[in-house]
Structure 1
Amino acid sequence: MQSHSLALVAVALLLAVWTLVAGWAVLAARARMARAQGAQQLARKLARMVEEAPALPLLVRADGRIEGASRLAGWLGRDALPDYLTELEDVLDAQALGALTQAVRHTQKTGAPLAMALVPRGGARTLSVRGGLADPQVAPADAALLWVFDATDSESRVRALEAESAQAHADFSGLAGLIEAAPLPMWFRDAAMRLRLVNSAYVRAVGAASAVDVVEQGIELVEAGEGPTPAKVAADVFASGRPLERVVSATINGQRRTMRVSDLPIGAEGVAGYAVDIEQMEELTRQFRRFREAERQTLDTLSAGIAQFDAGRNLVFANQPFLRIFAIPPAWVADTPPFDRVLDRLRDGGKVPEVRDFPEWRRERQAWFHAREPREEPWHLSDGTHLRVVAQPMPDGGLLLIFEDRTEQLQLSATRDTLLRTRTATFDNLFESLAVFGPDSRVQLWNRRFATDWALDEEFLATHPRADHLLTRLAPSLRRPAQVGQIGQVIQAATLERKQTSGRLALADGRHLEFSGVPLPDGNGLLTVLDITDSQKAEAALRERNAALIEADAVKSRFMANMSYEFRNPLNSIGGFAEMLDSGLAGELTPQARDYVAAILASVARLGEQIENVLDLSQSEAGMLPLAREPVDIFPLLADVVRERAEKITAAGLTLDLRGTSAVGKVTGDVRRLRKVFGLLIDNAMAATPEGGRILVECTRQAHDVRVVVSDNGKGMDAAALARAMEGLSLSTDGRPVERRLGLGLPLVRQLIAAHGGQFELLSEPGAGTSAIVTLP
């Protein structure tokens, strides 16, 4: 029983032990299962992390076999990874695959790290490969573990940054080259205002050896002088953060030049600067000022009024004729009034045309500033003044107004029209046959006598036939028709050759005609035909009488010349004695005696002048007048003559207007004789003009001649008085004075002008004044 109990206890113990062992085994199995499940879960987690990682592993064994994630095949553009590295030849080009293979082998042998970039075929993705020798726990020895990154975005960014860096470097190089090659000095100062960089132009300007010397020695381009130093100016610019531009003088290449210096703040880096040589511009500015002053002085000498407005429509200049025409004081112009105010002042002074709506008229004139072409219009003023107004737009937006007083010109034009009508009436009532031919040999004008004498109908002449057609009509009327060619030669000589020729013809009806061709100043030719049938009978007698008259005239001229010399000697004696009396050699004279002596001296001077005139006149008529032949500036000569008589003109209460410029040029002649000619003409005009009158001396250049007109607004003369004045007479037939003229003055003027090869003409009408016209070649 006891043994049985022990057996039971042993069995129980054995069962308990077995139960314990079985329980422990079960618990151990469960623990292993739990650990296996944890390891498997960890493996799945690690595999998932590897799949989601930005870098994928690639294991390359020593024999070249590869293992890697399936996603890596997608990066390489394949469905699955190949077994060996060399089988990636369809993914990588030969050069890239060779480089990868060599790098992997090097890593397997040496354990050195590997880093390179791969671009699969097609170039859509860039892969960055980093790796080294694999851990023995991961793979057997000599295996390489590579990590592959998708570096597509980063590589693109790197390439973009590299391109941007290369472009920035190129831009910087180009900018540096541009600054270095710039012809103007440029420099850069650091925050301490020390020179750090200068270009070659700066080095040349300061005469330094190199830019390094300039920087080390701190050589400044601009001297400090009395003002702040360049560094102090740059410091102020750096502190204010605003650029500064100034004009200073500097010595450049040994020459003093005017420079425009600019300092520019460059953030917190410092201050950059450059200098522009404006010496030439300053010189041009000075030249422009001198030119403008000279131009305005020239405008002051013109007879036309000039008013200049700037782009702001303000009056900036007005010459003296403008001030005189419109009675404007210079001080008013100095205030630079606007255009509207100028027109208002002119209107207040009655110097603009009378218009119904003045504000609208003024607005229309404001449009002159915007016109592209000059505008011209006449102004007829209430006081009878006629102004020609020219509005010239200026390139700078301003306006130049020119006011030309054409009152006298219109009056002269009216006088000319009257003279033309008078000439036409005279032309038709002459007893001579007259016809005017143009340069094209066509008949331009003819009188009634011409058509009557040659039996020509008006319809034929109205067609303005050519000379050859006209001569065909005239030939049957001649005694010898073949002689009609002589008329044609005379016409040709007058129109084309500008020569005066003449001839005679006999008509079939017994008449004898004398014809002559005269070249006219306007380029036409005048054919005059005179019936000399009756005059031929008296021709011989007239020739004899003419010879006698010529001889008598020569005797008269010689007599006058001799008498002039004979008069001169006693006259000189009288003058000499009178001067001695006046000087007190014969004792002190009483006031009344001095007056007598002064009267004697004045009479002697006057008589001496008349004797000299008589001598010149007689020598001229005899063809013995000596004349110098030298170039003479005609306008300055006229100005001197007028200046000599300025006091007399003022004392007589007269106004003399001299018109012309030195551009008229020169003539060839005797200065003393020409001075006498124009002096006599001006003295005549002064003598004939009452107090308050006006004398005009105008000098103009024509095609081949110089024309001088001396006119006055005196009483004028009729035809008879005009003829007597030309002969040196001063009284009418009843003994009353016609007009105060200077005796032999006008005949002497005519002779002196003829001796110079010129022409003299005297025009006058009662109540319209007198005009003396001198034409010199």
Structure 2
Amino acid sequence: MILTPLAMVMLGLMLAAWALAGLRALSFARNSQQSARQSQLTAEKMARMIEESPAQLLIVRSDGRLEGSPRLASWLGFENLPTYLNELEGSGAQAGLGLSSEQLEALGEAVLTTQRTGRPFRLSLAPRGSRRSLALRGCLADPQVAPAGSAQVWVFDASDSEHQLASARAEALRAKGDFAALVGLIEAAPIPMWFREPKGTLRLVNSAYVRAVAGQSAEQVVGEGVELIERVDGLSPVQVAAQAMLERRPIERMVAATINGQRRALRVSDLPLGTEGVAGYAIDVEEMEELSRNFRAFREAQRSMLDLLSSGVAQFDSRRRLTFANQTLQALFSLRPADLADAPSFERLLDAARERGRVPEMRDYRAWRKERVGWFASAAAQEEAWPLSDGTHLRVVTQPLPDGGMLLVVEDRSETLRIAAMRDTLLRTRTATFDSLFEAVGVFAPDGRMQLWNRLFATVWGLEPEALDEHPRINDLLVKIAPSLTKPAQAKSLGEVVRAATLERRQTGARVAMADGRTLEFVGVPLPDGNGLLTILDITGSQKAEDALRERNAALVEADQLKTRFLANMSYEFRTPLTSIGGFAELLAEGLGGELSEDGRDYVRAILSSVERLSDQIENVLDLSQSEAGLLPLAREDIDLFAMIRRLVEERAAKVDQGQLDLDLRGSSKSVGRIWGDSRRLARAFGHLLDNAISATPAGGRILVAVSRMKEDNGERIRLVVSDNGPGMDAATLARALDGAKVSDDGTALERRQGLGLPLARQLIEAHGGSLELLSEPGEGTAAIVELK
């Protein structure tokens, strides 16, 4: 095949074109490779930048799948980022990591809302098990970044910011609390406090300020500019505050102000606070001023009182100059008004006293005075005795004062020494009197030590006189006395008597039997000086007489008991034949022994009446003797007391009518009630009271029988009153009215006074736990009052 030149040219052109195309393709490929490499580097750089950036991107797809970096996974507490959103709570091996259920729920709702509406959201989360605080900013993802419907969440590590914010909040809260506490402190301050602006106008006042100016509120006081302090020396409070701010120093002054209607003294302070203004407060010093006035008044009153003392008193200041001398000291030292002029020194005062012979005489007066001046440097009190040439004896006492001065007290002891001499004479006289007493006496101190005694004291107790020379204590003395007693243990009673007289300040006594047959009685008496006086008497003779009387009394008691038993036995012995006599008389009255004449029947009726009366007397004697012997048996039962009294009154209706008497019975069964007792013996006792009243009341007289129940604090009582308007009884007859059987004066016979009725009634009533009382006046009648529980 032959190529034409044209073909060759065309072929060359084609080859050149292919070569150019290949070169271009090669160049394009090289450029594309370089661009891809550059893009890869850029992508890696961007990925690294995103990985190292403070914000991490989290892609949440529409199906809940997650895309994010490992760093974000570590922020959330995972080694690898979970696949789905609901796995951020952590489960299985990762349990306890990631977000809590509440946080996950809030994040899920926010992501879902953004995916549906495209609305961005902001959240703050704190993963479990981590101290990080994460800030989330979410929005709808761009389709070029993530598939459609995905949400992109930028996660920021806001731990430092949160800590700073928390610290700032805590500091702000603390500052707010401090400010509130300061404001509360100022508000609660009991003194008025205020704050002024640089112009001098009030800006803040506390409640105390409002109360002091009688304002309604702090706003009203500030708004009206009500001032607490008045103008002083032509300067208003505003001008004083301006002066304090101008001079930049506090200003304090004493002013007077009216607070709550009272004039008070105030210490006012104005304190400049830089360029902010001036603070002020006012302290009420009225009480301090009043205290100062009271102190001055007290000092004047004290000096007036010191002028009335019998002791001389002088006060010196720290420079040893006289500040006060009372009238007594001036008289003791014979000082003149000129000697006290211009506050003389202590040395000058001694010189003036020496000129008038009011200091002791000594050979070296200057050395003596120098020693006395040294009292001012002593920290303890000093005391000296100054005997004067005229026989006066002075007691000088010095007391250092806290301010470096000295208090000088001078007392004239001359009269005291004379009294002491008289006391010594009296003591010697007392000792001689003690020794001349018939009784043995001893004086004991409160500590039990024996102070004084007479010669008989040692003799009575069988002691040697030398045993008391050392003034033994009572315990040591008891050890020496115990062997001389019949019962050595009784020595304790002597110690108890001494202890009661000295320590307990009460009088007691006791008696002991001595081993030699003597009986001693002793009494402890407290003395006014705190000591105790022990007096001992030998009562051996009187004790023997007392023993004889006691033996005779025992014999009389035995005789009385024998008498009681005799009466009881005789009463039983009398009852048996009397019953027989009554029985035979009743048989005769019924005609068993034959028909009786009229006179015989009268005799039988008289016998029966006498038997009935004698039976009552025997019953009375028996009950009385048993009651006096304490052997009276009681058959107790439930008794309608008023019904019993009414029955007794009705039984004696014939006697009342026969005596032309008026008997008034008052009470009722309902009001009186029932009691528990022996109905037979109570009827006997009440019957005797009625019989005595009927027999003692003259014709036409009146008898009152009243029964009532009374309530008292300790229970209820039943009272029976039987009164008449008869002649009554005098005091002697009334005293014997309730006497029963009495032994005669010679002790050989038994006497019965006033019959058996009243004594028996008293015994029967007392056997039931009651009491019988007789009230009578001559010409006024007699009343018997019975009280039963």
TM-score normalised to structure 1 length: 0.50
Larger Rg: 2
TM-score normalised to structure 2 length: 0.49
